[in-house]
Every structure is written in C-alpha cells, then in structure tokens.
Amino acid sequence: MSFEGLPQGSGAKEKSFKESLYLWEVLRGLGVTLRHLVRNIFHTGEMPTMQYPEEKRVYSDRFRGRHRLTKREDGSPRCVACQMCSTVCPADCITIVAAEHPDVEIEKYPDSFEIDLLRCVYCGLCEEACPCDAIRMDTGIYEIAADSREKFVVDKDFLLNNTTDGTR
C-alpha cells in the first residue's frame, strides 16, 4: 500500500517473510502476556495497584484540594469581600455577597461566600489573587462527592470549618 505525497518510510517498516506470516509474532506476543501473568501470580504483592479506600496516595504539600476560608484570631473570616478571587476565577464559580463590617478598618465582610465545586477547575488562582490570605486550597481533600448538584455548592460556614484533616 502506498500513498502519493506521503514521505517515504513514514509508515510501518518493511516486514520480513517471518513477520508477514504473523503466527510467530502472535506466539511471541502470547509469551509476553504469559510472562506478566506468571510473574504477577507469584508476586501478587509487587503489583503497583493501590487498594484505594484502604491505601491512599500521598500527595505533595502543594496539592490543590478543596478550598477553605481562613479565620482571624477571633474566629471571624479573614475575607474582606474584595471580589478579587471571584473576578480572577476562570470558571466563575465563586459568588460573594458583601456586607458592611462594624470595624471601619476592615470595611467589608462576606455576608455569603459560595463556591460551586462542580464548576471549580482547581487552578489555584483565587489563592494567588487573595490580598488577605483568606482563601486557601491546602486542605488536601480530593474526595469530593455528593448525591445532588446542589450539595456541591458549599457555603461560608462549610468553607470556614473545612479543615486540613478532612473533618468539617
């Protein structure tokens, strides 16, 4: 088979007679799979499979997991509702409703702070944009599951108590 215009030698290399019979090559292929099979039967423990719920992969400290909102010393959110994160968010998943803070130094606080975890692309731009270190993705939580779409929209209370060890 040859196509005009294609560079020579771009396709499969010329087959020798033995290769063109295929049978020998098929047998060699069967040998390869048999080798794997036998090795794995006698060395089951050496397989790279991870028994997931029991064993978990250790991720780097810089792994971007589920978001959390950090707190001031008095327990109130550090967030000043400046909208930087929701502006920079490429997935448009952060919704902040600002309210006036009694302390004039702080000016604003988030009345509600919602993240749609289904829309989030875990890029980490919100962390970088935040001027107050109020939002972080250092929880290391990657097992994010729920049985309805609504439950993936997490609110301020959830995010404030979303601790590193996975407890809420």
Partner 1 sequence: MTIVWESLAKIGFMFALIMGMVVVLIWMERKGAAYIQDRTGPNRAAILGIRLAGLVHPVADVFKLLFKEDITPDGRHRALYNLAPWLVMTIALSTYAVVPFGDFLTVAGRQVPLVVADLDVGLLFILAIASLGTYGVVMAGWAANNKFTFLGGVRATAQMISYEINMGLALMGLILVFASLRITDITAGQADLLWGWLPKWGVVVQPLGFILFLVSVFAETNRNPFDLPEGESEIVAGYHLEYSSMKFALFFMAEYAHMVIGAALIATLYFGGYQIPWLPRPALEAHAGTLLTVKLVAVALVSLLIALLFMRRVQREKGKFGDARDREPVLGMGLWLVVAVAAAGALLLKPWAIGPAGASVFASLAQVGAFLVKLVFFAWLFIWVRWTLPRFRYDQLMRLGWKVMLPLGLANLVVTALVVALV
* Cross-strand bridge partners of residue 132: none
Nearer of residues 47 and 104 to partner 1, judged by Cβ: 47
- Specify the DSSP element, H or E, that contains 113: strand 108-116
Smallest CA-to-CA distance from 127 within 79, 163, 160 is with 79
Q: What SS3 state is found at 163?
A: coil
d(CA 119, CA 93): 6
Residues 126-155 that bind partner 1 (CB under 8 A): none
User: Which amino acid is present at 112?
Assistant: S
- Specify the DSSP element, H or E, that contains 17: helix 17-20
- We find the least distance from the C-beta atom of residue 49 to partner 1, in angstroms, to be 4
- We find the least distance from the C-beta atom of residue 130 to partner 1, in angstroms, to be 42
Phi then psi for 38, rounded to 5 degrees? -65, -45
Site string for partner 1, 1-40 (x = CB under 8 A): ----------------------x--x--xx-xxx-xx--x
- We find the least distance from the C-beta atom of residue 145 to partner 1, in angstroms, to be 18
Nearer of residues 6 and 41 to partner 1, judged by Cβ: 41
Note whether 166 binds partner 1 by CB under 8 A. Answer: no
Residues forming the site for partner 1 (CB under 8 A): 23, 26, 29-30, 32-34, 36-37, 40-41, 44, 47-49, 51, 54
